[in-house]
Every structure is written in C-alpha cells, then in structure tokens.
Amino acid sequence: MVTKDNRIVAHGLAGIQHVFVSNVWLDPIYVAAAAGLSLSSSTNLVNTIFIVSGIVTLTQATRLVKLPIIQGPSAYFDALMISAGKTGQLATAGGSILLSALIVFMLSVTGLINKLIKLLTPAITGTLIFLVGISLSEFTMSEFLGGSPGDEGFSSLSTLTLSITTAAIVILLSIFGKGFWKHFSFLIALIIGDLLAVWLGVVDYSVLSTKSWFGLPQLLPYGAWM
C-alpha cells in the first residue's frame, strides 16, 4: 500500500482486497455466465485460471518483475471466448489463444517484442482498453440488474437494493473517505454487500457444504485444440 509520502508498506488487508477485486475470479465467472456454459465447464474454467494465475503470479513476483502483482486473465479475449462458448467452438478458441501465447513467448525470447511495443502508442492502447470496456458494459449492466429480462429477481427491489448499496459504498468512501475507509472502500463494500445479500435471501452458501473445496482442472475438457 502506498502512503501519503509515497512509501510502500506491507498491509495484509490490501493484499486481500487486491485479490477480491482482481480479474482472476471475475473474468472466468463472467465468461462462463455470458457464454451459458454448464456448471461442470464453468467449474473447470475457474479452476484452470486460478491454478495458472497462481503459477504465473509466483513467477512474476519472484523471478521476473519482482513486484507484488496478481497476474490474471486478460479481458481482451473475453469476446472471443463468449462467442466461441455460444457456438460450441471453445476448443478452437483455446487453441488460438495457446498459439498466440507461443508467438508472444517467441517474440519475447528473441527480443523482437521490444521493437513492436514502440508501435503501440498511447492512442492505440487507450483505444483497445476503451473497446474492452464497451464490450463488457452490457454484461456489467445486466448483472447489476440481476441477470437477463425474464430471470427470477431481474430488476427486483432486493436486487436493486443490493447493487445500488454496494456501488454507493464504493463511490462514497472513495470520494469522502479518509485513511482506512478510503483505502479499503472496495473490500468494505464487498463485505457489506455479501452480508446484505444473505439478509435479503439473494444467496445461499449452504451448497458449499456439499461441494469439494479443492479440485484440479480437467485436461482438454472441450476437446482437441485444433
């Protein structure tokens, strides 16, 4: 955590908040929900990303950039994966992403990527980030309202109360909060939001007692990549 005098200090809660608001868990859940994947496919996707993200994060923090960052999935591929999931072509999409990763790896090893980065001006990268945000906006709004029109609880009083309250806590604490309240606005909002969801009966954690807490992803769950 960065203090007012720009010192970086260790803080356990900052690490917890970073994990909770990171893309590691949000991205696979978003893709699985938007693509309409089955429960088993969704579970396998989440397990895979958690394990790979953990390995890459440890490698980045100890061997490469040596900074306390969490390396998660990229939202750039979300549109591709969602489209592939809806059309039953996840194997092809997975193979394409794997091939892209190998190309980036070879460019990095040979040093060519440093020359290509110079071509990516702020205008280009900014446009890409803007387009990613636009592509995610529809799903974000649908989840804010509780799913899709026709779903049970869509735009209901309990759903809107939960969504608006959680968002309002983040905004108000970020603007008017001081010290602890400002630094941990997201974590505070998540905790209050979860408690409110339980009180409103929106979520039910009893199912966790019947499911395994640990698991390994299945290899090639969608078939051959090519």
Whether residue 16 contacts residue 190, with contact meaning beta carbons closer than 8 Å, is answered with no
Across residues 172-177, what is the average pLDDT? 95
For residues 97 and 74, give the distance between their C-alpha atoms in angstroms, rounded to a whole number. 11
Above 70 in pLDDT, residue 2?
Answer: no
Nearest to 163 by CA among 200, 205, 134: 200
Above 80 in pLDDT, residue 134?
Answer: yes
Band (pLDDT 50/70/90 cuts) for residue 8 is low
Q: What are phi and psi of 195, to 5 degrees?
A: -60, -40
Name the residue ranges covered by the structural domains of the chain. 1-73
- As a whole number of Å, the CA-based R_g of the chain is 20
Across 98-102, 123-127, 161-165, 219-223, least confident range? 219-223
- Span 45-99, pLDDT tens digits: 888 888 888 898 899 889 888 887 778 888 778 878 888 888 888 888 888 888 8
Biggest alpha carbon distance in the chain?
A: 57
Above 90 in pLDDT, residue 177?
Answer: yes
Across residues 175-202, what is the average pLDDT? 91
Mean pLDDT for the chain overall? 83
Q: Show the tokens assigned to 155.
A: 């735009």
* 82 vs 9 pLDDT, higher one: 82
Above 90 in pLDDT, residue 146?
Answer: no
pTM above 0.75, yes or no: no
* 37 vs 70 pLDDT, higher one: 37
Above 60 in pLDDT, residue 226?
Answer: no
What is the model's pLDDT at position 192? 96
Across 59-63, 167-171, 206-210, least confident range? 206-210
The length of the chain is 226
Above 60 in pLDDT, residue 180?
Answer: yes
Above 90 in pLDDT, residue 36?
Answer: no
* 30 vs 178 pLDDT, higher one: 178
